[in-house]
Amino acid sequence: MKIIKGNIIFTPTYDKFEIIKDGYIILSNNKIVGVYNEIPKQYKNYELIDYKDKLIIPGMNDLHCHAPQFRNVGIAMDKELLPWLNDYTFPEESKYKDIDYGKKMYSKFVKEIYKNGTTRVAAFATIHKESTMKLMDILIDSGIGGCVGKVNMDRNSCDSLCEYTMTSINDTLDIIKRYLNKSELVKPIITPRFVPTCSEILLKNLGEIAIKYNLPVQSHLSENIGEINWVKELHPRSKFYGDVYDSYNLFGDTPTLMAHCVHLTDDEINLMKTKNVYAVHCPTSNANLGSGIMPIRKLLNNNVKIAFGSDVSGGHSFSIFKAIVYAIEFSKLIWAQNKEYDFLTLSEAFYIATKGGGSFFGNIGSFEKDYEFDALVIDDSDLNFDNYSLLERLEKFIYLGDDRHIYHRYVSGKLI
């Protein structure tokens, strides 16, 4: 048992912050026993780590990113989705056939998400089995939790990234067998890149594998008008984009992440709600690629689960704190045009970044009883130069802070 002391801030619900000044978090192994103003008598003698005036908040959950696009983060920002994929992204991902290149770049990637306070991540790798396993190993070594998907794509891609259908399936199965029980914190995830690059036979097999091994699924959904039209051409009988995934058991039959969701139909939103599919909001990516803004308030009103993703390298920032800021700002741009859709409050956006995204991995992202202790300790002393409230300090750190302010990182009770 262990006791953590400091200024504790978290969001058990969307609508407000729970703030305990000079409070105590009691941990039993990796889990939270409770949060208290005073140490309850029975815990008085346990080890205490005193973070004094620092802020203690849940860790950030990045529910959509492309680890092999690390090299291209912050460059090539002048393209729309489909040309950007063909001209910049696919050539870079092709390099991960070389396991040494993969090892080098994935190490840098993991270092960068660590630096930025991500404690759980859902990452796309590439089609390459060896490099994908390397990414899983590096993630396991880092202490960061999450899931990693070998990407599946057997059509409509460049030659160097187009798999034989059976190779795609067998490599996926091989990774699952090796990694299903290798680590408590890092797991495989079924990852069809997106509908256009996956044949029906591949999608069918991936859905069956997901169900057989009870594995989660991640992919892309309704990011861009051109992409949506392409899906419609390829699957003329589908009711909407998400219906294609759904018809192959890849849309909520196991826990499912769908990135972007900028241009959803009402039926699509309804199906996402019914099947508990997460809409992963990647605001900087949606702007950088000219996709548009996800209608986040509409999705919240319809009880769709929401998480944030950095979506590097469509997105340019590794920081989920920046996703919070952008998501609020973009919701205000929608609100400026249509007052029916109220903008996101800070507590709502913070909830999405912590408990919202964390829920995909279990009891993660809050400091409630029985939650795993994923946390960041924030040293905001240089920002806190006047008489700010704890909530103002948090807001200031989120808007102005960076990796320099992240003093310690915990994942599932362990300092990493």
Report the residue from 74, 167, 174, 303 that binds its own copies according to the rule CB under 8 A: 74
Q: Exposed, middle or buried, 245 (CB in 10 Å: 0-12/13-18/19+)?
A: buried
Report the residue from 12, 34, 292, 413 that binds its own copies according to the rule CB under 8 A: 292
Distance CA 117, CA 238 (A): 40
Residue 208 identity: E
Nearest to 36 by CA among 3, 62, 83: 3
Distance CA 46, CA 31 (A): 15
Q: Which is nearer to its own copies, 266 or 382 (CB)?
A: 382
Q: For its own copies, how many residues bind (rule: CB under 8 A)?
A: 42
For position 345 contacting its own copies by CB under 8 A, the verdict is yes
Nearest to 124 by CA among 285, 16, 297, 264: 285
Report the residue from 78, 174, 184, 340 that binds its own copies according to the rule CB under 8 A: 78
Report the residue from 330, 351, 371, 373 that binds its own copies according to the rule CB under 8 A: 330
Distance CA 58, CA 367 (A): 7
Q: Which is nearer to its own copies, 328 or 353 (CB)?
A: 328
For position 392 contacting its own copies by CB under 8 A, the verdict is yes
For position 400 contacting its own copies by CB under 8 A, the verdict is yes
Distance CA 151, CA 153 (A): 7
Q: What is the H or E stretch that residue 191 is in?
A: strand 191-192
Report the residue from 228, 325, 352, 375 that binds its own copies according to the rule CB under 8 A: 325
Report the residue from 328, 377, 406, 411 that binds its own copies according to the rule CB under 8 A: 328
Q: Is 290 helix (H, G, I), strand (E, B) or coil?
A: coil
For position 111 contacting its own copies by CB under 8 A, the verdict is no
Least separation in angstroms between residue 114's CB and its own copies is 15
For position 42 contacting its own copies by CB under 8 A, the verdict is no
Distance CA 146, CA 119 (A): 8
Least separation in angstroms between residue 193's CB and its own copies is 22
How large is the greatest C-alpha to C-alpha distance in the chain, in angstroms? 67
For position 40 contacting its own copies by CB under 8 A, the verdict is no
Torsion over CA: 381, 386, 390, 392 (sign): negative
**Binding segment for its own copies among 48-56, 57-65, 228-236, 325-333 (CB under 8 A)?**
325-333
Question: Cis link prior to 313 (omega < 30° from 0)?
Answer: yes
For position 126 contacting its own copies by CB under 8 A, the verdict is no
Q: Which residues bind its own copies (CB under 8 A)?
A: 71, 73-78, 108, 284, 287-293, 316-317, 325, 328-330, 332-333, 335-337, 343, 345-346, 383, 385-386, 388, 392, 395-400, 402
